[in-house]
Structure 1
Amino acid sequence: MSDTGANQDDEPISSEHRPVACWLTDMDGVLVHEQRAIPGAAEFIAALQRSGLRFLVLTNNSIFTARDLRARLLASGIDVPEDCIWTSALATAQFLAEQSPGASVYVIGETGLTTALHEAGFVMTETDPDYVVLGETRTYSFEAITKAIRYLERGSRFIATNPDATGPSAEGSLPATGSVAALITRATGLEPYYVGKPNPLMMRSALNRIHAHSETTVMVGDRMDTDVIAGIEAGLRTFLVLTGSTSVERISRFPYRPSQIVDSVADLVDLVERWAPS
């Protein structure tokens, strides 16, 4: 286990005074990398399931439904129940349902987002929508972006699933939601409201979904600028794993620290078992 720089001793965060009842964990960079399981990830999820502790796998990816992601994880050897997956698309649909139930929306995105909005009761339209909702897609259309810009100019409100500027692929980085949102913002002068990480709203919606309390929940992530800061702002203890985006050398550049740094989720299996209800 790596030296944390965040705690005074070498022991993991004690559960004696702050028991752990729930776990939140990011997906890409923590459990999988390019659809391949990270060593220890399957064992970590299996330990969570054995423990009786409530947990959710979180992702800013809005392309896929929870069912799709379950299948993709299972193909990697990681067995996560569908109802234990929470995406930025689901969080966005829930947020809009609370803010403006029954509103009309124009959507740039794929099945994960359109399905979430449809199941939340929204009407998708190309006639003066109440909202333009932007999510991730691998087939961004100039025509669709132009429509979005014109709707926003006529008064539609702007929502985006997450601010990630790029996403991973086997060939290298791909432009993601944040990059397209920046294009639309430059054209309209309008900033979207981002629902996904690092917005603590995403964390709060996840906590509510599993009836968790921030004081007894931990967040596991690989990115300081999304996972860790979102966890901190939501009042959670945070574990940073070094299998994803943030290297040890970069950690000191941030003005905040995770509660603990570990090499990978493999280092957390013993903690899950230690913190499981007796």
Structure 2
Amino acid sequence: MRAHPECWLSDMDGVLVREEHAVPGATDFLARLVERQRRFLVLTNNSIFTPRDLSARLARSGLDIPEAAIWTSALATATFLADQLPGGSAFVIGEAGMTTALHNVGYVLTDRDPDFVVLGETRTYSFEAITRAIRLIEAGARFIATNPDVTGPSEQGPLPATGSVAAMITKATGREPYFVGKPNPMMLRSALNKIEAHSENTVMVGDRMDTDVVAGIEAGLDTILVLTGSTRRADVDRFPWRPGRVLDSIADAVELV
């Protein structure tokens, strides 16, 4: 691992929280970042909530993370679209996290001849909305999705997520979406731009080899895999890439800040 990183990016679920409970050591890690005046962002592929919503939810878990320190796939998607086509329009399947992010970059939300169809995370996928998205894509709208995750967690078990619904739309239209969220390194690069950080002095901490770690490597960051989430130690050797370090939990990263 590179010595004395100045900036830190950390995944949220599986690294700092699990099932809405703070991971032991997460509070100490965040406190150390503030104490050492390290620039940092907490990242999530979840596009349902706004940063303000997530900050409040994290506070209930005992983690003090200001909304300015949270970067979602919805924000990354809105940043990407504003760069691609400033002042454009979009038909959105998603929740407040996605619609708010697009409004904030000056996009118009419409179901009449939009420039883009944007698919985000939602817990209430509408067959009518999916049908409308299919017809708009066939009419020429470009297809964007926030993240490729095919399932999401719930107390009752896995739920279909953005990647699953995107596959349905692709099957109907023959059009593949452009996914902005992890493992696309674009999400990490947009996060670096937000905190004016450079890849050579930034660390990405994640719990998944197939999203967090590979995105960090492709963005040129140092990487840490923690074993409190999706990837187990025995799984690491299955991948052709390696994290800079493998730690049992975020508690072991405190001394590295």
Please give the TM-score of this superposition, normalised by the length of structure 1: 0.91
From 200, 207, 210, the equivalent of 2:192 is 207
Deviations 1:103-162 (A, max 9, x none): 110000000000000111000111111100000000000000000000001000000011
Aligned residue among 40, 49, 67 for 2:25:
40
1:77 aligns with 2:62: yes
Which of residues 85, 93, 111 is equivalent to 1:126? 111
The aligned counterpart of 1:156 is 141
Task: Sort the Cα spacing of 1:109 and 1:14 in 2 relative to 1 into closer, same or farther, 3 A.
Answer: closer
SS of corresponding position for 1:121: coil
Q: Deviations over 1:41-71 (max 9, x none)?
A: 1111111111101000000000000000000
2:124 pairs with 1:144:
no
Separation of aligned partners in 1, 2:34 and 2:122 = 32
* 1:100 is aligned to 2:111: no
Q: Secondary structure at the match of 2:238?
A: coil
Q: Deviations over 1:226-278 (max 9, x none)?
A: 00000000001100000000011111111111010000000011111xxxxxx
Are 2:102 and 1:117 equivalent residues in the alignment? yes
Number of equivalenced pairs: 257
Q: Per the alignment, do residues 51 and 104 of structure 1 end up closer, same or farther by CA in structure 2, a change over 3 Å counting?
A: same
Residue of structure 1 in register with 2:213 after alignment: 228
Whether the 8 Å CA contact 2:91–2:110 is kept in 1: the answer is yes
Given that residues 203 and 224 in structure 2 are in contact (C-alpha distance below 8 angstroms), is that contact kept between their aligned partners in structure 1? yes
SS of match in other structure, 1:132: strand
Query: Any idea what SS the aligned residue of 2:169 has?
Result: helix
Out of 35, 38, 54, the residue aligned to residue 50 of structure 1 is: 35
Q: CA RMSD in A?
A: 0.7
Query: 1:179 corresponds to which residue?
Result: 164
Aligned counterparts of 1:166 and 1:253: Cα–Cα separation in 2: 21
Partner of 1:63: 48
Runs of 4+ in 1 over 6 A off after TM superposition: none
Q: What is the match of residue 22 of structure 1?
A: 7
Counterpart selection for 2:154 from 164, 169, 172: 169
CA offsets, 1:186-209, max 9 Å, x none?
010000000000101001000011
Mapped to 2, the partners of 1:126 and 1:208 lie a distance apart of 32
For structure 1, the residue ranges without an aligned partner over 5 or more in a row are 1-12, 273-278
**TM-score with structure 2 setting the length:** 0.99
User: Which ranges in structure 2 are unaligned for 5 or more consecutive residues?
Assistant: none
C-alpha distance in 2, partners of 1:216/1:14? 8
Query: What is the letter of the counterpart of residue 221 of structure 2?
Result: L
Q: Distance in 2 between matches of 1:178 and 1:107?
A: 15
Shift of 1:14: 5.0
Code of the aligned partner of 2:55: R
Amino acid at match of 2:109: M
Say if 2:115 and 2:142, in contact at 8 Å, map to a contact too: yes
State the match for 1:249 in structure 2: 234
Distance 2:244 2:228 in 1: 17
- Superposed, 1:179-198 pairs within 5 Å as 179-198=164-183
Percent identical residues: 70
Alignment correspondent of 1:262: 247
